[in-house]
Amino acid sequence: MKIQKVNGYLYVTLWDKQRKRPRRFYLGKSSDPRVAELLKAAAELKVPREEVEDYVARQVDPATRTTKPELVVLSVVLGVLSCRWSGGSRAR
Amino acid sequence: MSLERRFKSALRLGARTVRRFFPEYAVVGRFARNFYAPPETTLDVDFLVDLDDAERVAEFLEYASARFEVSPLEVGHWQYKLVVKGFRFDLVKPRGYRYDAEAASRRRLVRMEGVGELALLSPEDLAVLYLVSSLDRGVRDLIKAKDVVVYSKARGDFNEEYFLRKCEENRVKHLGLALLAG
């Protein structure tokens, strides 16, 4: 992925999977490269395959094909306990 | 009562109150994300609702403030905090994100023991919402979008065509394409 700078503006050309052809996107002024940096980060983010396999094997409810609800509830209970132990307020 | 039971009871009450005034609500934020990817700890539950409907918001505030702690108490904000039994529930309408009838029709209904039915924003729409919010909040929301995409695809529960169309409608198609390509 190559970000182009033209007359003080940033653009990127990406393969548009829907239109099946390249497409140019405007990313803002070159003085504000935040969107361009976000785009680079989006292209570089990776999730390790082992973590994905472990999630599907152990944390997904086969009946609903979502995370087991008890684990989702646990995420709140642990969040609240962690906040309590660190002296925070639950209701923030 | 255990913390888990107290939370479930609070969520049941909170969701019932939200549903009463905003039947098209969708659970968003980390609580919704946790149904689609390995759970991360969280402190609250976020409900996406139409806060532009001043009349409904006013009715909601009148009803909820008589029963729970609510703030702010005036119409016209983009976020409201509802505290039920010590647990926080937020009503939000994120700036820059278009929640339409199509997204509402694709909500996922999950049934939780002790809570009842909850409507979650679909994984595709939740990923789009995270991409929109990443424009303000940066990479941390991008990571959440990536998690929802990758783990939902692994569960065989992600429609790329719909995701990209919604990305286009919300002006984040470049981010959606880069996320899928990565």
What's the rounded Cα separation, in Å, for the pair A18 and B85? 47
Predicted model pTM: 0.94
User: What's the N-to-C CA distance of chain B in angstroms?
Assistant: 46
Phi, psi angles (nearest 5°) of residue B167: -60, -45
B35 to A25: CB separation less than 8 angstroms, yes or no: no
| Other Cβ atoms closer than 10 A to B162 | 16
The tens-digit pLDDT sequence of chain A (92 residues) is 889 999 999 999 999 998 899 999 999 999 999 999 999 999 999 999 999 999 999 999 999 999 999 999 999 999 999 988 887 655 54
Number of helices (H) and strands (E), helices first, in chain B? 8, 7
Q: pLDDT tens digit string along B134-167?
A: 999 999 999 999 999 999 999 999 999 999 999 9
B99 and B136 in a single domain? The answer is no
B20 and B81 in a single domain? The answer is yes
B107 and B128 in a single domain? The answer is no
End-of-domain residue from the set B69, B102, B121:
B121
Residue among A45, A77, A91 whose CB faces B86 most closely: A91
B113 and B137 in a single domain? The answer is no
ipTM of the complex: 0.92
DSSP A1: -
Contact at 8 Å (CB) between B70 and B81? yes
B145 and B59 in a single domain? The answer is no
B23 and B63 in a single domain? The answer is yes
B97 and B115 in a single domain? The answer is yes
What's the rounded Cα separation, in Å, for the pair B112 and B119? 11
**DSSP-assigned beta bridge partners for residue B84:** B87
B114 and B144 in a single domain? The answer is no
B100 and B40 in a single domain? The answer is yes
A contact residues 19-78, partner B, Cβ 8 Å cutoff: 25, 27, 34-35, 38-39, 41-47, 51-53, 55-56, 59-60, 64-67, 69, 71-78
B15 and B56 in a single domain? The answer is yes
Q: What is the residue range of B38's domain?
A: 3-121
End-of-domain residue from the set B73, B96, B121:
B121
